[in-house]
């Protein structure tokens, strides 16, 4: 089984980076093939160019490679912080450029784009591991947990992924080293459950 791991955090000293390292180690221990992309380290360009909007309009070799890897993998794990109720801009740009028509979804013949598309990522598993500094109760009650809606409905279900889970680690800013070790164990357990 091949699992695509996408990390979106600017610091290699971050807890997000530690989560990604734990995820990769756990997958490899299970004998999984891992394709890892640290979007910041790789300099992934999040800007969707006008020419790229057309179906088949991918000219960027990095985007082509990411699209091919997405189609090839059996599972995908996203690791990122919650910034303003959404993923960091580099990951949002990855979503815009890689989860594209013909790769992640397609509209049925005769549909000009106003209907409900067919997801092309059926059968894949998605795990989202994100960090937060907002207490869970406030995130749920005041903000309505926008990240859950983005990942579950707007991305995974839209693209045909029905085996999905999101796990939040927080509050990061006040967490102890002991707490972070427990969270890394929880991240490993989530990977083992979803990618046995």
pLDDT-based confidence at residue 165 (cuts at 50, 70, 90): very high
* DSSP 8-state code for residue 108: P
Pairing between β-strand 33-38 and β-strand 2-7 as defined by DSSP bridges: parallel
pLDDT higher at 139 or 121:
121
Mean pLDDT of the chain: 92
Cis peptide before 70 (omega within 30 of 0): no
pLDDT higher at 138 or 160:
160
Q: Is the pLDDT of residue 160 over 80?
A: yes
On the 0-12 / 13-18 / 19+ scale of CB atoms within 10 A, 15 is buried
pLDDT for 141 equals 63
% of the chain at pLDDT higher than 70: 95
pLDDT for 143 equals 62
Q: Is the pLDDT of residue 161 over 80?
A: yes
Q: Is the pLDDT of residue 142 over 60?
A: no
Per-residue b or e along 62-80, where b marks 16 or more CB atoms closer than 10 Å to that residue's CB: ebeebbebbeebebbbbbb
Q: Which residues contact 24 (CB under 8 A, 6 or more apart)?
A: 5, 34, 36
Rounded to an integer, the average pLDDT of 4-26 is 98
Q: CA dist 89 to 10, 46, 71, 99, 192, Å?
A: 11, 7, 23, 15, 29
pLDDT-based confidence at residue 146 (cuts at 50, 70, 90): confident
Rounded to an integer, the average pLDDT of 59-81 is 96
CA torsion sign, 131 to 133 to 138 to 142?
A: negative
Rounded to an integer, the average pLDDT of 89-98 is 97
111-133: pLDDT as tens digits: 766 778 899 999 999 999 999 98
Least confident span in 14-28, 95-109, 129-143? 129-143
pTM of the predicted structure, to 2 decimals: 0.93
29-63: pLDDT as tens digits: 999 999 999 999 999 999 999 988 877 788 899 99
Domains of the chain in start order, with CATH, are 2-194 (3.40.50.360)
């Amino acid at each position: 089984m091949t699992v695509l791991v996408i990390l979106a955090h600017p610091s290699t000293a971050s807890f997000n980076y530690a989560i990604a390292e734990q995820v990769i180690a756990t997958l490899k221990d299970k004998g999984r093939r891992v394709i890892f992309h640290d979007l910041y380290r790789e300099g992934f360009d999040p800007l969707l160019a006008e020419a790229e909007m057309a179906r088949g309009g991918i000219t960027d070799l990095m985007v082509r490679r990411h699209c091919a890897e997405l189609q090839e993998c059996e599972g995908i794990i996203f690791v990122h912080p919650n910034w303003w109720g959404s993923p960091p801009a580099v990951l949002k740009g990855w979503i815009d450029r890689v989860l594209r028509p013909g790769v992640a979804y397609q509209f049925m013949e005769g549909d000009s784009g106003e209907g409900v598309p067919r997801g092309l990522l059926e059968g894949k598993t998605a795990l989202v591991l994100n960090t937060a500094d907002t207490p869970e109760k406030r995130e749920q009650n005041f903000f309505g947990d926008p990240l859950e809606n983005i990942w579950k409905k707007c991305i995974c279900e839209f693209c045909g992924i029905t085996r999905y889970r999101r796990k939040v680690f927080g509050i990061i800013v006040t967490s102890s080293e002991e707490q972070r070790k427990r969270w890394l164990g929880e991240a490993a357990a989530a990977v083992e459950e979803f990618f046995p």
